[in-house]
A and B are shown apart, each in its own frame.
Chain A
Amino acid sequence: MATYQLNVNGQSKKVDVDPGTPLLWVLREDLKMTGTKYGCGISACGACTVHVDGIATRSCVVPVSLIGNRKITTIEAIDQDPVGRTVQNAWVEKDVVQCGYCQSGQIMSAVALLKATPKPTEQNIEESMGGNLCRCATYVRIREAIKSASQRL
């Protein structure tokens, strides 16, 4: 076990965990922030996506020992960011969600895309969102919401 001081959503959080513990489990189990979801556990589905220093990151495969002092942003705080707020509003407006399990990861990836590329092409959207799976197949509405958010940025 080791002690880590994490910067999560602008707040300093102290955790005492095994160094190899994935960030996802630290967020969910130790910090009780369950908005970030466990999907595949091997970074193949994107449900666990958070931002680490602004980079969309698959928290299920990144050990907490490798985070250092980088800033973690989760779905719980994404509305504090102007782009994040715009994306969430577009998600609601387009009624994207079906079961909702993958949607926090979808939104975190979409925000990362729009922060880097405010006016994405179809190909940009396809490539950036291609690693986020949705078993309800809400892909069409996800793309509509991204385009809608893009128009407001």
Chain B
Amino acid sequence: MLSNSRFVIRSLLIILSFIATWIVLTASAANERRDLKNLNPNTNLGEESARFAAGLAAWEQVYSVLVSPRCINCHTATNYPQQGDDRHRHFANVVRGGHDGQGVPGLHCVSCHQEVNADSTGVPGETNWHLAPLSMRWQDTNDKPLSSAAVCRAVTDRARNENMDGPALLKHHQEAALVLWAWNPGRRPDGTMRTVPPLPHAEFVNATRTWVDAGTPCPKESSRAR
């Protein structure tokens, strides 16, 4: 009698787990279809699906640049910038300062960083050198880069990204002086060249364009979590 009850309970549990799995998979597929339909309801779902996938792949290329040291060192979640390829804390007790991220009186970013690279002294420079606002932090407070999904959400959230839509993001990646600096970072104090992001700027812009054309899709948190 007891063994019959256990058999029944086990059977019920197995059936329930099948039903739960089916519900989760169905909901996930429905969400994916809804994402694609939101992308452009008037076009072929197959084409949109391919464009969506291409957009996601392009985003991963964009992400690889954003989390490279030349970019992410000034997109911190802390009260200070970082420097170097090992992304150590900026020396001289440099701090963020106010919302503009330009440092504090007596110790502004421009106390050292001029409008162009100073290769004779190894100090990088570009117009309006400053930290990105905290709303555009791409790392956590332990200096670990955020996941691809989290950075994508930050970059595409117009409440956090200075109200930039897709075309504005593309223009930013094409033209913003501090973005362009990443591919012209000048020399270190020892005279060697600073490293540049993993993609050439033209490829970075092309990847951004593909991503924007696909509707700036973001990966799911679990798919490419870092």
What residues of chain A have their CB less than 8 Å away from a CB belonging to chain B? 19-22, 42-46, 49, 55-58, 60-63, 66, 109-110, 112-113, 115-117, 124, 127-132
Q: Is the interface of B mostly helix, strand, loop or mixed?
A: loop
Beta-carbon contact of A112 and B112 below 8 Å = no
A residues less than 8 Å from B97 (CB atoms): 127
Name the residue on B nearest A131 (C-beta). B92
Beta-carbon contact of A20 and B114 below 8 Å = no
Beta-carbon contact of B123 and A43 below 8 Å = yes
Is B104 in contact with chain A by the CB < 8 A criterion? yes
Q: How far is the CA of A20 from the CA of B118 in the complex (A)?
A: 8
What residues of chain B have their CB less than 8 Å away from a CB belonging to chain A? 91-95, 97, 104-108, 110-112, 114-116, 118-123, 125, 189
Name the residue on B nearest A41 (C-beta). B121
Contact A62 to B112, CB < 8 A, known contacts A56-B107, A113-B105, A129-B106: yes
Q: Which of B97, B108, B120, B121 gathers the greatest number of chain A CB atoms within 10 Å?
A: B121
Beta-carbon contact of A130 and B93 below 8 Å = yes
Contact A56 to B92, CB < 8 A, known contacts A66-B116, A66-B118: no
Q: How far is the CA of A112 from the CA of B91 in the complex (A)?
A: 20
The 10 A-B pairs of least Cβ separation, nearest first, read A20-B120, A130-B93, A116-B105, A128-B106, A109-B106, A131-B92, A61-B121, A112-B106, A66-B114, A113-B106
